[in-house]
Amino acid sequence: MSERAGTSERAGASERAGASEEPGASERPGATPGAGRVALVTGGSRGIGAAVVHRLAADGLTVHLVYREAEEAARNVVAAVTAAGGRAVAHRADVADEKQVVDLVERIADREGALHVLVNNAAVIDDRLVAATPTAHWERVLRVNLTGPFLACREVLPLMLDQGWGRIVNISSNSVRIPGPGQSAYAAAKGGLEALTRTLAVEVGRKGIRINTVAPGKVRTEMTDAVAERLGSDGAGTRWGLPEDISGLVAFLAGEEADYIQGQTFTVDGGRLVMRAAAGARPRRAGVPA
């Protein structure tokens, strides 16, 4: 596989191990919900992205996952999917690089003959107070977390329009609604991603394409495991979520049953957002001590 397309030779080996050289996935019969469909999941080597890859593959989709640095983790995901009877292909690419995204989508379309589902999950976090944020750091967070999904959407939409069917699921964050100190760039980018979802829904919603957003709360992954152990549940009693708590909804939004859902943002946080709002707004009844 050409390095020009942003995929390493090792990723090519993963591709050979994770999927046969059969014709396009649309020719493959099966009884599972996504049989014959092809998905692209960015940031698919770990955490929420890996859980989404596993779930979509279990539903019968051929899943192309994208990683930037975690090659071993990506290879492990492909191996696990293959061992379970699914089909997965790993690609190395930087979603913030326009040429790599263009080449990535072109390569998948040439190989599969179709691309039905896009899950924009890749993201970076670089928490800094605004007064201490260099412009380059701000721009990097926005480029990966907002421009990256824009590029991927732009490249897959012509394929979906030709098919007359497509599903795009953008992964946002509850930080849009409950930002923490230092999350200005991250929250701004994710807020922009939710706006992009709504705008695309207006632009292509009548063409058989459904675009929605999933906004997770605090999710326990390799990166947050130590923090989760230390903090436990928060004051509202909500636990840390698991990647699998998110992947089920993503899989639903990627399927036929979500046809009447368009341009929405779904919060998946164990009730943390609503419990915090209720605690802050609960009126005090007369005669009841504070």
Per-residue three-class SS string for the chain = CCHHHCCCHHHHHHHHHHCCCCCCHHHCCCCCCCCCCEEEEECCCCHHHHHHHHHHHHCCCEEEEEECCCHHHHHHHHHHHHHCCCEEEEEECCCCCHHHHHHHHHHHHHHHCCCCEEEECCCCCCCCCHHHCCHHHHHHHHHHHHHHHHHHHHHHHHHHHHHCCEEEEEECCHHHCCCCCCCHHHHHHHHHHHHHHHHHHHHHHHHCEEEEEEEECCECCCCCHHHHHHHCCCCCCCCCECHHHHHHHHHHHCCHHHCCCCCCEEEECCCHHHHHHHHHHCCCCCCCCC
CA 278 vs CA 231, 241, 265, 271, 288: distances in Å? 22, 20, 20, 10, 17
* Catalytic positions: 186
Point out which residues pair with 210 in neighbouring strands. 167
Point out which residues pair with 121 in neighbouring strands. none
For residues 250 and 105, what is the distance between their CA atoms, to the nearest angstrom?
Answer: 20
The answer for residues whose C-beta is within 8 angstroms of residue 124's C-beta and 6 or more apart is 140, 141, 144, 145
